[in-house]
Amino acid sequence: MPRIDEDDGWIYTPPTEPWLDILHQDSDLMVIHKPAGLLSVPGRRADRQDSAYTRILERFPYARISHRLDMDTSGVLAVGLHRRAERWLDRQFQKRAVEKVYLARVIGHPADDEGLITLPLRRLSGQLRSVVDPAGKPSSTRYVVRSRDEDNTTLLQLHPLTGRSHQLRVHLLALGHPIVGDRFYAPPDPAIPRMLLHAATLTVAHPTSQVPVTFQAPPPPRLRSSQS
């Protein structure tokens, strides 16, 4: 299987308006709504340096990033604006003390209204793909059906209980329902401009107050329930 880089294989046109879609900002944190098509951090190539983190660094040179979203995924991305805030966020992600909710539109209609996928995952050497592997790292994803739609797709609410690379994408592929528009794991469809996966909410304890706070990014139209 040929190697495909996260920032290769597409026409890479990250949006520039707005430069940063800021959901929240204080002395510790900046939380943005990262658009699909923009890298979370710079790529390896010289022409792949534009990213959410690069843009934040232009205004906040001491900012540090603790988590990422795939380039093709939109939604909530939180960045510590100084080292203490970054260490606080790091600890929460490492201890799985954050709560993340995603929305995904998948191909087909899952049989169950909800479920828990517990399949170990392994990153393929030299590639940005992951596979189910009994010798891989334990990985868990809870899903809930939000709507089954007439176009043979289903809107799912996803709760990743672990944070493996491409976890949601590979778990849903293993379930038999890949994410619509997923260029790595779903059938190609030139009519679909992006992968329909969105980080809808992120709940973390604030670095200073230590009180849990929830940040939300509104989903695009195709990731809204037809039954709402």
Residue 3 within a domain = no
pLDDT (tens digit per residue) in 1-35: 233 344 444 455 778 888 999 999 999 999 999 99
> Does a structural domain hold residue 4?
no
Tell me the residue range of the domain where 53 lies. 22-217
Residue 16 in domain: no
Confidence at residue 70, expressed as pLDDT on a 0 to 100 scale = 94
What mean pLDDT do residues 176-201 have?
93
> Annotated catalytic sites, by residue?
70
Flag whether 190 is in a domain. yes
15 falls within a domain: no
Instruction: Give the number of domains in the chain.
Output: 1
Please tell me the least confidently modeled range out of 115-119, 125-129, 179-183. 125-129
Q: For residues 5 and 43, is the Cβ–Cβ distance under 8 A? A: yes
Residue 181 lies in a domain: yes
